[in-house]
Structure 1
Amino acid sequence: MFCCGKHVKIEAEVCADPVWCLCGANLELDAFPLSEELTEQLWEWNVQYGEWLEESDYDDDLLVQRLGKEAIEDFNRRGKELAMRVRKELGEDVQVHFSPLKMRE
């Protein structure tokens, strides 16, 4: 479940689970003792990013341009909420970090 200690990062990515070790290793979401509801919501959030990116020809700049700042901020807000719920469900022994989508100016 954990790679390099009890630290995980929630970050959306195409063709990968949305849970990462701080060393960069992708971790299997289903290996974590999370509720079915939270696991499903994390998958949905991650898939949304993949669909957006695919529609933007895998170009982050085009993605931001196409969706707009507000949509990206909403996506990041949702991701942060999910990360906070992961933290709550995994307990105080685990440090959960969130990596938002970056918007280039």
Structure 2
Amino acid sequence: MDCCCKSGKTSEIKIEGDVSADPIWCKNCGCNLDLDESPVSAELKDKLSRWALTYGKWIDWNKGSLLANGLELEKEFNQAGLLLTEEVKHELKDQYNVTYSPSSSSRYYL
């Protein structure tokens, strides 16, 4: 996949949620990669996209604080992300080294 590394390509990707970003990143340079250009199935792209849209649902953005059940919501988000990462690993086999970077954004709102 194309990235911002000196070589322009990466063999190491991480799955990570963030605000208004595709959930796939170069593990080396940190470049946000285009999910549409990733070599995973359309079904998995859709799952990843829907999951990414739930990032930050544990935060009351207007108040800058966690929701009452925010820690549990973030934990559920991370569990879903871990399962999706396993699906990505399965589909990509040995093409890429795939890791998951869990959200820890709740710590900023405690």
| 8 Å contact kept, 1:8–1:21 | yes
Aligned to 2:52: 46
Identify which of 76, 79, 82 aligns with 2:84.
82
- The SS at the match of 1:49 is coil
Highest CA radius of gyration, 1 or 2?
A: 2
Please give the secondary structure, in 2, of the residue aligned with 1:89: helix
Higher relative contact order (CA 8 A, sep 6+): 1
Greater fraction helix: 1
2:20 corresponds, among 1, 9, 15, to: 15
Q: Note if contact 2:58-2:73 (Cα within 8 Å) is conserved in structure 1.
A: no
Match for residue 28 of structure 1 among 34, 39, 43: 34
Q: What TM-score, normalized to structure 1?
A: 0.81
**Identity across matched positions, percent:** 40
**Matched pairs, number:** 101
Structure 1 runs (4+) greater than 3 angstroms displaced:
none
C-alpha displacement at 1:2, in angstroms? 3.9
Quick one: which of 7, 11, 15 aligns to 1:6? Answer: 11
Which structure 1 segments of 5+ residues have no match?
none
